[in-house]
Amino acid sequence: MSAQNSATVLRPIAVTGSAQAALGVLSFSFSFPATAWALEGFGPWTVTGLRGVLAALIAGACLLATGARVPPRSAWPGLAAVAAGCAVGFPLLSTLALRISSTAHSAVVIGLLPLATAAVAALRSGSRPPRAFWLAALAGAAVVLAFTVQQSGGAGFTTADLYLFGALVVCAVGYAEGGRLAHSLPGWQVIAWGVVAALPVTALTGALALAVEPVHWTWHGVTGLGYLAAVSQFGGFVVWYRGMAAIGVPRASQLQLAQPLLTLCWAVLLLAETLPATAVPAALAVVACIAATQRAARPKTPATVRTPATAQAPATAQASSGPRGATP
């Protein structure tokens, strides 16, 4: 009865955590097309600054409305990593990359991000996922990398790739630290304090950029900027960090293997890009890798679980029969 009740309680938590992490991935999959739209009306530094300022205003309002307390000092280093990686570094570097590269090619950073996030989380927490997990994660990353490189025409290592590599590193650190903090802080507060902490930097960046970069108030530009601020910079992280806290950083990070392929779908629908013929096989391979990582990272259930009734039996037998009658 006790074991059944525990399983009943844990199962909805796992499903809910996976669903929240998946919703975060879906939200982030629109980020690159939204950035491409935002660049139609604003310069890259302006986009980075304004999305950060708007996200901080939304987050600050939520913190004030709920009466959230300032996190303890022990959480500040992690929040600084979230601010630097997720609120400043990744938005800036990915925006600079998208200015000189296609959405499809830039999706390579998302293809490698799950593996990088899992690696950073393992190093940071000292956890050791099983070998099967790493093999499946590496396979999924290889599939996504091969797919994005193939559809980009096999372009060499460019300036955009340098931006993407830097974005990959800082975002992986921000994801891992945010997932770790979400165990002690509500997930939405992790990203809320992160974007608020980055406000001095994003506000200064936006103010300086507006003075030198041209601004065109187009529908695409405003819509893209609004999505980046409200969803990519804040709302998506709320469910993403909650999902990571519920099912663990390594498992949640591997759900993001599907993000590049989702991004390519939105690029076709929203940016009129042509979808390569290899998209469907790659999508099926990525789904298989995701399933493998989820299975490998799932905690193993003990073969035998004692209920209170069975737990008392050995004690009774031992009392009547002595040590020889005890169950080993």
DSSP, residue by residue, 71-82? PPGGGHHHHHHH
Residue-wise over 71-81: b if at least 16 C-beta within 10 A, else e? beeebeebbbb
- pLDDT at residue 162 greater than cutoff 90: no
Q: Which residue has the tokens 């190093």?
A: 123
What pLDDT sits at residue 123? 80
Confidence of residue 9 (pLDDT cuts 50, 70, 90): very low
What pLDDT sits at residue 31? 94
Distance CA 199, CA 194 (A): 9
Q: Is 2 helix (H, G, I), strand (E, B) or coil?
A: helix
DSSP, residue by residue, 175-198? HHHHHHHTTTS-HHHHHHHHHHHT
**Nearest Cα to Cα of residue 162 among 94, 260, 263:** 94
CA distances from 318 to 313, 315, 321, 328 (A): 9, 5, 5, 11
Confidence of residue 157 (pLDDT cuts 50, 70, 90): low
* Cα maximum dimension of the chain: 89
Judged by phi (left if over 0) then psi (alpha if -120 to 50, else beta), residue 202 lies in alpha
Distance CA 86, CA 195 (A): 8
Give the type of residue at 248: G
Distance CA 215, CA 218 (A): 9
What pLDDT sits at residue 15? 55
Contact 83, 197 (CB under 8 A): yes
What pLDDT sits at residue 51? 96
Distance CA 178, CA 93 (A): 19
Least confident of 99-103, 164-168, 251-255: 251-255
Region 51-67: what's the mean pLDDT? Answer: 96
Kindly give, in sequence order, each residue whose CB lies less than 8 Å from that of residue 216, ignoring residues fewer than 6 positions away.
40, 41, 42
Distance CA 172, CA 176 (A): 6
- pLDDT at residue 71 greater than cutoff 70: yes
- pLDDT at residue 165 greater than cutoff 60: yes
pLDDT (tens digit per residue) in 245-301: 888 877 887 788 788 888 888 988 898 877 777 777 887 888 788 778 767 766 554
- pLDDT at residue 7 greater than cutoff 50: no
- pLDDT at residue 150 greater than cutoff 90: no
Between 55 and 106, where is the model more confident?
Answer: 55
Confidence of residue 236 (pLDDT cuts 50, 70, 90): very high
Confidence of residue 326 (pLDDT cuts 50, 70, 90): very low
Between 3 and 240, where is the model more confident?
Answer: 240
Distance CA 50, CA 195 (A): 12
What pLDDT sits at residue 234? 94
What is the pLDDT of the chain when averaged over all its residues?
81
What pLDDT sits at residue 137? 82
Least confident of 66-75, 107-116, 183-192, 301-310: 301-310
- pLDDT at residue 43 greater than cutoff 60: yes
- pLDDT at residue 34 greater than cutoff 70: yes
Between 304 and 77, where is the model more confident?
Answer: 77
- Give 84's DSSP letter: I
- pLDDT at residue 59 greater than cutoff 60: yes
Instruction: Supply the pTM of this predicted model.
Output: 0.78
- The domain ranges of the chain are 19-297
Region 5-15: what's the mean pLDDT? Answer: 46
